[in-house]
């Protein structure tokens, strides 16, 4: 299923979402945002799709926001200055927050340029796998702006204020290997093997129990910013759901068999 600029399908239990505006390096406009929202909404409810893969067609993951779209969102509409823009940002926040809360693993496969809103989209994924030719960053400061769709928020929580400030306040685009060193991406592969290595990573996730994957994700995300004891209460609550699940005995036996094979 698809609209013109976002395609999605389910293949071997993997929901694949492709930004499909290669002639614009997948610059994000209203149509792409609508497509992303619909794709993630449908795949989050699709029982066949146990994992979601996000990727970009062409030479880049995403060049960031389409400036023609930004001009439309930011134009004066007769109200107090900035209201229209803030409403537009709120819509994007809502879409990205919903992606982040999906109780399925989301993997972003990144190649080429991944900047600005493109990186902010990738930050909502649980895992970011990059090719060696990828560059990642938030260059908004060069234009006199800041990343406003979760960039300052997620980068700070993910990397800490030191690296978040360097990325945001310099606007530098980092090569993939440097992004890996600071924890911005999980793994980096040669461009020629990115497809194969991403497939192997997805296969590993598919071998893990779906309920445990989804709740492990929520346990980590819920705990960000909470005190230790509250986070530990969340752990206990999640564990109680897993261990009392109807299929837990079967899941446990399969897991023990897998662990014994590794010894």
Enter the tokens of residue 133.
Answer: 């030719």
SS3 113: strand
Which residues make Cβ contacts (< 8 Å) with residue 257, sequence separation at least 6? none
- 166-211 pLDDT tens trace: 999 999 999 999 999 999 999 999 999 999 999 999 999 999 999 9
In terms of pLDDT, which residue wins out, 74 or 122?
Answer: 122
| pLDDT higher than threshold 80 for residue 143 | yes
Percent of the chain as helix, strand, coil, to the nearest 5: 55, 15, 30
Residue 258's pLDDT band (boundaries 50, 70, 90)?
confident
How far apart are the C-alpha atoms of 231 and 234, rounded to whole Å?
A: 5
**What are the domain boundaries of the chain?**
6-206, 210-262
In terms of pLDDT, which residue wins out, 3 or 105?
Answer: 105
Confidence (pLDDT) at 263: 64
- DSSP character at residue 235: H
CATH number of 6-206: 3.90.226.10
Which residues are known catalytic residues? 120, 140
Residue 76's pLDDT band (boundaries 50, 70, 90)?
confident
Residue 77's pLDDT band (boundaries 50, 70, 90)?
confident
How far apart are the C-alpha atoms of 28 and 66, rounded to whole Å?
A: 5
Confidence (pLDDT) at 78: 80
| Residue located via tokens 């999640």 | 238
Q: Which of 197, 119, 186 is nearest to 155 (CA)?
A: 119
Q: For helices 228-243 and 210-223, what crossing angle results, to 10°?
A: 170
| pLDDT higher than threshold 70 for residue 3 | no
Average pLDDT over residues 55-72: 95
Mean pLDDT, the chain, whole residue set: 95
């Amino acid at each position: 299923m698809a609209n013109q600029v976002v395609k999605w399908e389910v293949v071997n239990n993997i929901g694949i979402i492709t930004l499909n505006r290669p002639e614009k390096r997948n610059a994000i406009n209203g149509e792409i945002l609508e497509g992303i929202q619909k794709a993630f909404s449908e795949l989050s409810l699709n029982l066949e799709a146990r994992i979601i893969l996000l990727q970009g067609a062409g030479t880049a993951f995403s060049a960031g926001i389409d400036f023609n779209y930004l001009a439309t969102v930011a134009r004066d509409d007769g109200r107090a200055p900035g209201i229209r823009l803030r409403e537009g940002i709120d819509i994007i926040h809502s879409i990205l927050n919903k992606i982040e809360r999906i109780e399925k693993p989301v993997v972003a496969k990144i190649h080429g340029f991944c900047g600005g809103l493109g990186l902010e989209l990738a930050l909502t994924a649980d895992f970011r796998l990059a090719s060696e030719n990828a560059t990642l960053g938030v260059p908004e400061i060069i234009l006199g702006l800041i990343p406003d769709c979760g960039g300052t928020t997620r980068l700070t929580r993910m990397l800490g204020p030191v690296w978040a400030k360097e990325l945001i306040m310099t606007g530098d685009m980092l090569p993939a290997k440097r992004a890996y060193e600071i924890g911005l991406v999980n793994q980096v592969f040669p461009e020629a093997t990115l497809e194969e290595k991403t497939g192997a990573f997805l296969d590993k996730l598919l071998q893990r129990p779906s309920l445990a994957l989804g709740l492990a994700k929520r346990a980590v995300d819920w705990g960000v910013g909470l005190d230790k004891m509250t986070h530990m209460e969340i752990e206990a609550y999640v564990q109680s759901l897993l261990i009392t699940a109807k299929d837990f005995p079967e899941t446990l036996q399969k897991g023990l068999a897998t662990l014994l094979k590794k010894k």
